[in-house]
Chains A and B, each alone.
Chain A
Amino acid sequence: MDLQCELCPRQCRIPPGGRGDCRIRVHLDGRLHAVTYGHPCTVHIDPVEKKPVFHFLPGTPTLSLATVGCNLHCKNCQNWEISQRNPEEVEALALPPEQLVALARQYQCPSISYTYTDPVVYYEYTLDTCTQARAAGLKNILVTAGYINREPARELFRVTDAARIDLKALSDKFYQDVCGATLKPVLDTILLARDMGLEVELIHLVIPTLNDRERDLQQLCRWVAEHLGREVPLHFSRFYPQHLMAHLPPTPLATLNLARDIARAAGLYFVYLGNILEPDAATTWCPACKKPLVRRSGFSVLENRLQNGACPDCGKKVYGVWN
Chain B
Amino acid sequence: MELSRRTMLKTTMVLLTALVAGGWTWLRATPARWVQAVRAGRYPGRIKPLDERELQRPGRWLG
Q: Which of A4, A47, A149, A299 contacts B32 (CB 8 A)?
A: A4
Chain B residues 1-58 with CB under 8 Å of chain A are 27-28, 31-50, 54-58
Q: How far is the CB of B35 from chain A (nearest CB, A)?
A: 5
| Beta-carbon contact of B43 and A33 below 8 Å | no
What's the tally of chain B residues with a CB closer than 8 Å to chain A?
31
**A244 adjacent to chain B (CB < 8 Å):** no
Q: How far is the CB of B38 from chain A (nearest CB, A)?
A: 5
| Beta-carbon contact of A50 and B34 below 8 Å | no
| Beta-carbon contact of A39 and B47 below 8 Å | yes
| Beta-carbon contact of B38 and A79 below 8 Å | no
Residues of A contacting B47 in the complex (Cβ-Cβ under 8 angstroms): 39, 91-94
Residues of B contacting A14 in the complex (Cβ-Cβ under 8 angstroms): 31
| Beta-carbon contact of B34 and A34 below 8 Å | no
**A31 adjacent to chain B (CB < 8 Å):** yes
Q: Report how far A37 CA is from B31 CA in the complex, Å.
A: 24
Q: Which 5 A-B pairs have the closest CB atoms?
A: A44-B59, A34-B37, A33-B40, A2-B31, A32-B34
Q: List 28 A-B contacts (CB under 8 A).
A: A1-B31, A3-B34, A4-B34, A6-B35, A25-B37, A31-B37, A31-B38, A32-B34, A32-B37, A32-B38, A33-B37, A37-B41, A39-B43, A44-B54, A44-B57, A50-B58, A50-B59, A66-B61, A79-B63, A87-B44, A91-B46, A93-B48, A103-B55, A116-B59, A116-B61, A116-B63, A123-B36, A128-B39
Known: A43-B50, A107-B55, A123-B37. 14 other contacts (CB 8 A): A4-B33, A5-B34, A7-B34, A34-B39, A35-B43, A37-B39, A38-B39, A45-B56, A78-B61, A91-B47, A92-B48, A93-B48, A151-B35, A152-B36
